Every structure is written in C-alpha cells, then in structure tokens.
Amino acid sequence: MRLTSRFPRRLRVPAAFAAAALFALTLGATPSPAATGPATTSAGVVSYLTSITGNHTVSGQHNREPNSSPAQWTDKVHDITGVYPGMWEGDFLYSADDIANRQTMVDEAEAEWAAGSLVGLMWHECPPTMAEPCSWSDVESKLTSDQWTQLVTDGTSLNTAWKSELDRIVPYLQQLKDAGVPVLWRPLHEINDSWSWWGGNADSARLYQITHDYLVGTKGLTNLVWVWSVKDDSTSTVAGYYPGSQYVDVVGLDSWNANFPSTSWYQTMQSIAAGKPIALAEVGALPTPAELTAQPKWAYFSDWAEYLTNSNSDDAIKATYYDYQVLHRGDITLPAGIRAGAASGAGSRAASGAASG
C-alpha cells in the first residue's frame, strides 16, 4: 500500500502556490552566505532515496546548455507550477563557451543544494583522442578496436589521456565536496547505446570501472553518488553493461524509445539494481500520477531540458508536480533530520527564488 504524503492530494495545489508566495517574499532580499551547517554524505543521499522507494518520487529537471544559464529549465518548472523540482541536474559539456562557464554551473549546483534540492551532474565529454573543446560530432564519434584496448589498459597513452580529461573536472567536484554537496554523478550515460564514443562497446563497463576507481580511489571524491544509466533499447543485453554493484549506487533508465517504461523494463531495472534505488534518469514526457502509481519504485525522475515544454502541456506538468507522490524542493529531509543543503539562506538565485538571466 502506498503511503500518502503529509499533504493530501487535494491540498497539493494550494500548498504549491503557498510555496510560490514564500519564494516571492524573498525576492530582492539581501543574499546571505551559504550555510556551513552539517552536510549529508553520499551514503545519506542513497539512504534517503532507498527510504522513499515505493512511496514517493523526487521530481527532477535537467538544465541543458548554455552553462552560462544553468537553471533555465528549473526556473521554468517554477514558472509553471509555483514550486521548484526536488533535484537539479547540470552538465560539464564540451564546447568552448560551456567549458568557460563550468564554474557558473558548479556555483549553481552549490546554490541548489543550499536551497534544498538534490544535485545531479553528468558530462557529454570529448573523446580521449582529442583535447577539449570539441564538437557534437566528436562526442558522437567512434573509437577503433585498438583504441578501446589502449583506453582500458592502465598506463597506455589513451588511458592516461582519459585520466587527464577527468582531471579537468576534478577541481569542480572537489569544490562541491569541500562545500558538503553530495552529487548524483551520472558519467558515461546511456552506456549501452552506441550513439556516443563511450557507449555500446564490450569495454564500456570497464571504462566506467576505471572512471570510478580514478575519481574515488585516486582523487578521493567520496561525495559522488554513482548513477549508472542506460537507454531503453533492449532488455536482453543491458545487463552486460553493468559494471558491478560495488561501482553503482543508483540504477537509472533513460526512457526515450517509450514515454514511460514498459513493465519488462521496470522489472529488468529492479533485477539489475538488486535492492539499490532505481531512477528515471532521463525522460521527455513526465510520468503521470497513474504511471507512478503503477510503477512506484522510481526514486526520482529527471525531465530533459526543453522537453519539459516540448513534450508536456502546462496542465500535464501541474498534474505530475501537484500529485501527492511527487516531492519538490522543501519536501526532502535527509538522514539525521538534515534537510538538503542544511541552509537557512544562500547567496544565489536558487535560494532567493529570483529568476536566472
């Protein structure tokens, strides 16, 4: 039996507009520094997602380029519903302009956490055969069999180049660690699909393992919650891309071939997860209340950037966001009573409710 939120279904809409009014009152207020209170660990986030599984789903929104405006789609959710998503996601990206604005994006990540949202990050990265910046066609390029062998062999030139590429984002992830921000980190996404240089290869799972071991073991980034995500292509082959339970904290599905996962995909993801939280890591059409009732174990969903308005009407967005099963910013309480961000205020747009430019 599904547990209800502290807000009955009939009260969700008024509660949402009450939240909007509260944010509106803070507009123009003098920003206060981000709180330096107790921070929740990555394990705390996983524990939280596990605790809500089967009862609630955290709402999430991806914010695609430009990194100079890293909350444009999160703000759009607020414009439509009067509430902010419970999870914000950004992307390190690959173009010169977005690379130049990575700090702006990471500042937003800190601000979102301080304001009470979970934080997610991913990376459409350049292949290790070239230095960044690069083009979208480079992201979609393919490595040869010999290049893959080099890439996953320790000490080779391409293996070293990959670690050097990771070094470009390590300072930003370290900055978030120092600020007490755990990150739902989703590298090498859609790892089973060959559209990207990193996906659809027999060694793709090995590359995920190498990435994990380098960032955690070598660089000490213990604030990362490792999200492994696949595209809804074939349930019969997807398990072959799983790097192993010791490398994964959350098992995610990018549901693009179907607006909402089939029962077969829902069961497959639970089978692979073996008790770990599962998530709709990317969707275009938001899950409806009826769909979340039918598949209650998705711990969160993240709608992909412009698909928020391209694939959903305002009424559909409100129906999902106002449903009692769906949690927003302000609903999330992490272990030991630590609210996401543990903040009383933050020197940012996210905390003040002001729209990003």
Letter string b/e over residues 304-337, b meaning 16 or more CB atoms within 10 A of that residue's CB: bbebbeeebeeeebbbbbbbbbbbbbbbbebeee
Please list the helix, strand and coil fractions of the chain in percent, rounded to the nearest 5, in that order. Answer: 40, 15, 45
Phi and psi angles of residue 150, each rounded to the nearest 5 degrees, phi first:
-65, -45
Q: Tokens 């990265």 correspond to what residue?
A: 125
Q: Identify whether 140 is a catalytic site residue.
A: no
User: Which entry of 65, 110, 112, 190 is annotated as an active-site residue?
Assistant: 190
Q: What angle do CA 163, 165, 167 make, to 5 degrees?
A: 70
Rounded (10°) CA dihedral 246, 249, 255, 257: 0
Contact status, residue 229 vs residue 281, Cβ threshold 8 Å? yes
Contact status, residue 225 vs residue 182, Cβ threshold 8 Å? yes
User: Which entry of 89, 108, 112, 282 is annotated as an active-site residue?
Assistant: 282
52-to-56, 71, 203, 204, 276 alpha-carbon distances in Å: 5, 26, 34, 31, 12
Beta bridge partners of 89: 62, 120
Instruction: Please state, in angstroms and rounded to a whole number, the distance separating the CA atoms of residues 61 and 320.
Output: 13
158-to-131, 161, 194, 292 alpha-carbon distances in Å: 12, 5, 19, 43
Cβ burial, residue 8 (10 Å; 0-12/13-18/19+): exposed
Q: Identify whether 65 is a catalytic site residue.
A: no
Instruction: Please state, in angstroms and rounded to a whole number, the distance separating the CA atoms of residues 161 and 167.
Output: 10
Region class of 256: left (phi > 0), else alpha (psi between -120 and 50), else beta:
alpha
For residue 302, how many other CB atoms are within 10 A of its CB?
Answer: 27
Please identify every residue annotated as catalytic. Answer: 190, 282
